[in-house]
């Protein structure tokens, strides 16, 4: 078992490599025959920093909480090369000719990935006859080569409408996402470029095109106040009544607005050859510092669009203070498009993300639930969160803001949550909302860990615009955030997931969060309507 066994800092419910270095998620697919999720990843087993030769590591999970390690799945051609990022598809109809009847249609696994050397980046195919554990390399590789050294990260899917395979990949430094089609996964025909969209940064990487379900009811219309139904394991999508829009995901690095790496997306239409964005907007997948190279699963149950990102940032990934391994993935997220109102004049679709937390695999060791708590500046309230915390907790917070109670422009009108270490409460995560900015903040800088204090790219404070979740009966706005904290990563989901923020944080070893203190700089502005915290552990 790969999680939770190698030292106090390792997340419990997030995928990490046993040893060595990990970056992008690759080849994500669901095997319906065995009800197993497979995740591969950029892997250097020889060191805990990125280096050549670079491999695909492999892990699998039945529950998306615990992952089983399977070591190296794909190798590069030689020690100076890398098996760079790519994807896996299930070739049910054996279009590739790699299979015969001895392989179940649902296990005809083909990987398409970039073979990187110092003279070229070309696309290779490999296939598995044993459910994704070992691979054979296609004998006529490469399957696509345009004589470029900056041409990578193929993401392939089956397009029902045109009955063809579609590949998106990045002609990285020309800012082109190229679209190719194929009948057989081995010969590919160029169709179009999606070029110079969004924030460009230094280069484009890891694109992906997905047909994302559109849900016309916004979650706040279907979720009653105080009802914790969004704490369920999966999104409440009603697959019979959904339609779809196409979404193009692009990763850029370096050059993100908040530094280093980030993911952007475009909503639009895809006709089998060309992706056309519906408008000129660049949208942000996750507003945190640590969410990159998101990829979606092939063949996910119910046609859900499930994504995982690498939860780090190239600006500092090699220096994060873990020992025998580096990096974790985000939780798996269920992605949908739903209406939201960023401001009073506009309602439009945005990408909603809902984390998949499978409670059958988790113990709730302690839970705390508070309602109707009016905050004032004189006293803070503090709650101890269980006896021996393990560093894994989940919370959900709904608050109401009465801005007419603001009396001075000089007061920092915050509502703050201090999640404090159980061993040493000088170390804490602070997060909250401030009414004058009408924005949410997270401060991960209150730590004694050298890396946090010394690495100049590991900025401590991030902030987040957040729209009104709903209006209370008394006319006041309500906001909501759900958070999952797992040892050194916090994932925040605002207003049922209309925006998210994923960030690493580091407190001293074994100083797991044990107390939460709630305070405000002002009187009678904030009412906590509902605050639910659970200390969890993995079964
Ligand atoms: C993105 C990336 C990809 C490449 C891989 C190499 O993080 O640079 O473009 O395939 O990492 O590890």
The reply to whether 471 and 365 lie within a common domain is yes
Kindly indicate the confidence band of residue 239, based on its pLDDT and cuts at 50, 70 and 90. Answer: very low
Ligand 1 atom with the shortest distance to the CA of 292: 7
Q: Measured at the alpha carbon of residue 27, what is the angle toward residues 25 and 32, in degrees to the nearest 5?
A: 120
Contact 113, 137 (CB under 8 A): no
- Residue with the smallest CA separation from ligand 1 atom 7 is 24
Last residue of a domain, one of 321, 355, 389: 355
pLDDT at residue 8 tops 80:
no
CA distance 237 to 53: 42
Are residues 94 and 208 located together in one domain of the fold?
yes
Mean pLDDT calculated for residue range 533-539: 94
**Is the pLDDT confidence value at 3 over 70?**
no
**Residue 365: enclosing H or E segment and its boundaries?**
strand 362-374
- Asked whether residue 518 is assigned to any structural domain, the reply reads yes
Answer for the pair 289, 317: CB distance below 8 angstroms, yes or no.
no
Kindly tell me if the per-residue pLDDT of 227 is higher than 60.
no
> Which of 133, 85, 143, 86 is CA-nearest to residue 109?
133
Domain match, 235 and 366 both? no
Question: Which alpha helices (DSSP H) does 338-492 contain, by range?
Answer: 450-454
Q: How far is the CA of 86 from the centre of ligand 1 (A)?
A: 9
pLDDT of 7 reads 45
3-state secondary structure of 377: coil
Model confidence at 468: pLDDT above 60: yes
| Residue at 409 is within a domain | yes
Q: What percent of the chain has pLDDT over 70?
A: 94
Cβ–Cβ under 8 Å, residues 369 and 72: no
For the segment 276-310, what is each residue's pLDDT rounded down to a tens digit?
Answer: 999 999 999 999 999 999 999 999 999 999 999 99
Compute the Cα dihedral for 2, 6, 12, 18 and give only its sign: negative
Tell me if residue 24 is catalytic: yes
Other C-beta atoms closer than 10 Å to the C-beta of 1 total 10
Residue 450's Cβ-count burial label (10 Å; 0-12, 13-18, 19+) is exposed
Task: Tell me the backbone φ, ψ of residue 319, rounded to 5 degrees.
Answer: -110, -5
Residue 318 alpha carbon to ligand 1 centre in Å: 14
pLDDT band at 219 (very low <50, low <70, confident <90, very high): low
Complex confidence, ipTM: 0.98
413 and 459 fall within a common domain = yes
Ligand 1: atom nearest CA of 54 is 12
3 falls within a domain: no
Distances (CA, A) of 508 to 386, 421, 538: 19, 9, 21
The answer to whether position 40 is within a domain reads yes
Of all protein residues, the one whose alpha carbon is nearest to atom 6 of ligand 1 is 84
Q: Quick one: 190 and 223 in the same domain?
A: yes
CATH number at residue 71: 2.115.10.20
Could you tell me if 346 and 204 lie in one domain? Answer: yes
Instruction: Please choose, from the candidates 287, 224, 277, 291, the residue with its C-alpha nearest in 3D space to the C-alpha of residue 25.
Output: 291
SS3 359: helix
Contact (Cβ atoms closer than 8 angstroms) between residue 129 and residue 136? yes
440, containing H or E segment: strand 439-446
312 closest CA partner among 295, 331, 293, 325? 293
pLDDT at 6 over 60: no
Boundary-marking domain end, from 339, 355, 371? 355
Catalytic residue of the set 24, 153, 290, 530: 24
DSSP H or E run through 370: strand 362-374
What is the mean pLDDT of the segment spanning 446-473? 95
The answer to whether residue 376 sits within a structural domain is yes
pLDDT of residue 231: 32
User: DSSP string spanning 466-525?
Assistant: ----EE-TTS-EEEEEEEEEETTEEEEEEGGGTEEEEEE--PSTT--EEEEEEEESSSSS
Local confidence band at 253 (pLDDT 50, 70, 90 cut-offs): very high
Three-class secondary structure of residue 330 per DSSP: coil
Same-domain status, 244 and 337: yes
Report which protein residue has its CA nearest ligand 1's atom 8: 205
- Half-sphere CA count of 187, side-chain side, radius 13 A: 2
Query: How many other C-beta atoms lie within 10 A of the C-beta of residue 246?
Result: 18
Cα–ligand 1 centroid distance for 154 (angstroms): 11
State residue 403 phi and psi, 5-degree precision: -70, -15
325-326 β-sheet, strand order? 68-74, 55-61, 36-44, 20-31, 325-326
Which residue is associated with the tokens 């109102």?
341
Query: Can you tell me which atom of ligand 1 is nearest the CA of 84?
Result: 10
What is the domain count for the chain?
Answer: 2
Instruction: Supply the mean pLDDT for the chain.
Output: 93
Task: Provide CB contacts within 8 A for 477, sequence distance 6+.
Answer: 400, 401, 468, 469, 470, 471
Q: What is the mean pLDDT of residues 17-40?
A: 97
Q: List the domain range (segments joined by +) for residue 65.
A: 20-355
Burial bucket for residue 296 (CB in 10 Å: 0-12, 13-18, 19+): buried
Sign (positive/negative) of CA torsion 333, 336, 342, 344? negative
Ligand 1 center–CA 24 separation, angstroms = 7
Average pLDDT over residues 211-238: 54
296 found inside a domain? yes
Residue 50 Cα: closest atom of ligand 1: 12
Can you tell me the mean pLDDT for 6-28?
89
* Of 313, 334, 355, the domain-final residue: 355
The atom of ligand 1 lying closest to the CA of 153 is 10
Whether residue 260 sits in one domain with residue 208: yes
The answer to whether the beta carbons of residues 226 and 529 sit under 8 Å apart is yes
Based on the fold, state whether residues 397 and 504 are members of the same structural domain: yes
Question: What are the φ/ψ torsions at residue 131 (nearest 5 degrees)?
Answer: 80, 15
Residue among 23, 169, 253 whose CB has most ligand 1 atoms within 8 A, to mutate: 23
> pLDDT (tens digit, 9 = 90+) per residue, 39-93?
999 999 999 999 999 999 999 999 999 999 999 999 999 999 999 999 999 999 9
What does the alpha-carbon distance between residue 123 and residue 129 come to, in Å, rounded to a whole number? 20
Element (H, E) at 267: strand 262-270
Q: What is the distance, to the nearest Å, from the Cα of residue 120 to the centroid of all Cα atoms in its chain?
A: 30
pLDDT for position 387: 82
Lowest mean pLDDT among 49-53, 215-219, 282-286, 337-341: 215-219
Q: Distance from the CA of 115 to the center of ligand 1, in angstroms?
A: 11
For residue 242, the model assigns a pLDDT of 64
Under the banding of pLDDT at 50, 70 and 90, the label for residue 323 is: confident
Same domain, 363 and 347: no
Q: Examine the domain organization and report whether 62 and 152 are in the same domain.
A: yes
User: 461 in a domain, yes or no?
Assistant: yes
Helices (H), 203-255: 219-222
Q: pLDDT digit string (tens) for 378-406?
A: 989 999 998 889 999 999 999 999 999 99
Helix, strand or coil, per DSSP, at residue 266: strand
Q: How confident is residue 223, by pLDDT bands cut at 50, 70 and 90?
A: very low
Residue 285 domain-assigned?
yes
Within 6 Å (CB) of ligand 1, which residues are found? 23-24, 42, 54, 84-85, 114, 152-153, 205-206, 293
> Where residue 385 sits, what CATH number does that domain have?
2.60.120.560
Q: Are residues 393 and 508 in the same domain?
A: yes
| Residue 233 pLDDT > 70 | no
Of 27, 42, 168, 314, the one to substitute when testing ligand 1's pocket (max ligand atoms within 8 A of C-beta) is 42
Quote the pLDDT of residue 497.
97
pLDDT, position 220: 55
Whether the CA torsion 145, 148, 151, 152 is positive or negative: it is positive
| Residue 294 and residue 284 in contact, taking contact as beta carbons nearer than 8 Å | no
Ligand 1 centroid to residue 294 C-alpha, Å:
11
């Amino acid at each position: 078992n790969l999680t939770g066994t190698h030292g106090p800092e390792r997340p419990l419910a997030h995928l990490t490599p046993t040893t060595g270095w990990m970056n992008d998620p690759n080849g994500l697919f669901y095997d319906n025959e065995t009800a197993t999720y497979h995740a591969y990843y950029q892997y250097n087993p020889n060191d805990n920093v990125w280096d050549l030769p670079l491999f695909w590591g492999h892990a699998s999970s039945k529950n998306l909480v615990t992952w089983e390690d399977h070591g190296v799945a794909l190798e590069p051609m030689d020690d100076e090369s890398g098996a760079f990022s790519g994807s896996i598809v299930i070739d049910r109809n054996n279009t590739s000719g790699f299979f015969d009847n001895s392989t179940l249609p649902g296990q005809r696994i083909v990987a398409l990935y970039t073979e990187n050397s110092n003279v070229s980046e070309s696309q290779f195919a490999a296939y598995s006859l044993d459910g994704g554990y070992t691979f054979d390399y296609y004998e006529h590789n490469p399957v696509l080569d345009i004589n470029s050294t900056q041409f990578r990260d193929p993401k392939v899917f089956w397009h029902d409408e045109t009955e063809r395979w579609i590949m998106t990949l990045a002609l990285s430094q020309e800012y082109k996402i190229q679209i190719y089609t194929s009948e057989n996964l081995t010969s590919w025909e160029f169709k179009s470029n999606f070029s110079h969209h969004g924030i460009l940064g230094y280069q484009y990487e890891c694109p992906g095109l997905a047909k994302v379900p559109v849900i016309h009811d916004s979650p706040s219309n279907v979720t009653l106040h105080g009802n914790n139904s969004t704490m369920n394991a999966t999104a409440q999508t009603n697959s019979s009544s959904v339609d779809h829009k196409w979404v193009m995901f692009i990763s850029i690095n370096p050059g993100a607005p908040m530094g280093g790496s980030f993911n952007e997306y475009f909503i639009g239409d895809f006709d089998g050859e060309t992706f056309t964005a519906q408008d000129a907007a660049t949208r942000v997948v996750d507003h945190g510092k640590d969410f990159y190279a998101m990829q979606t699963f092939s063949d996910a149950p119910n046609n859900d669009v499930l994504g995982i990102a690498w939860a780090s940032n190239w600006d500092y990934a090699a220096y994060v203070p873990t020992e025998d391994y580096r990096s974790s993935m985000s939780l798996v997220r269920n992605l949908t498009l739903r209406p939201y109102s960023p401001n009073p004049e506009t309602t439009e679709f945005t990408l909603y993300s809902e984390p998949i937390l499978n409670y059958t695999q988790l113990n709730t060791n302690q839970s705390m639930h508070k309602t109707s708590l009016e905050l004032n500046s004189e006293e803070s309230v503090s709650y101890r969160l269980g006896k021996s915390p393990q560093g894994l907790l989940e919370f959900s917070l709904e608050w109401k803001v009465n801005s007419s109670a603001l009396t001075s422009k000089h007061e920092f009108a915050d509502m703050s949550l201090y999640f404090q270490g159980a061993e040493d409460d000088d170390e804490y995560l602070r997060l909250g909302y401030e009414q004058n900015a009408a924005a949410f903040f997270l401060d991960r800088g209150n730590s004694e860990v050298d890396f946090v204090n010394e690495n100049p790219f590991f900025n401590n404070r991030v902030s987040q615009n957040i729209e009104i979740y709903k209006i209370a009966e008394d006319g006041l706005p309500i906001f909501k955030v759900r958070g999952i904290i797992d040892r050194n990563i916090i994932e925040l989901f605002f207003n049922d997931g209309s925006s998210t923020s994923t960030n690493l944080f580091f407190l001293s070893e074994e100083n797991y969060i044990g107390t939460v203190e709630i305070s405000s700089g002002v009187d009678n502005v904030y009412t906590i309507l509902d605050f639910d915290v659970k200390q969890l552990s993995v079964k």
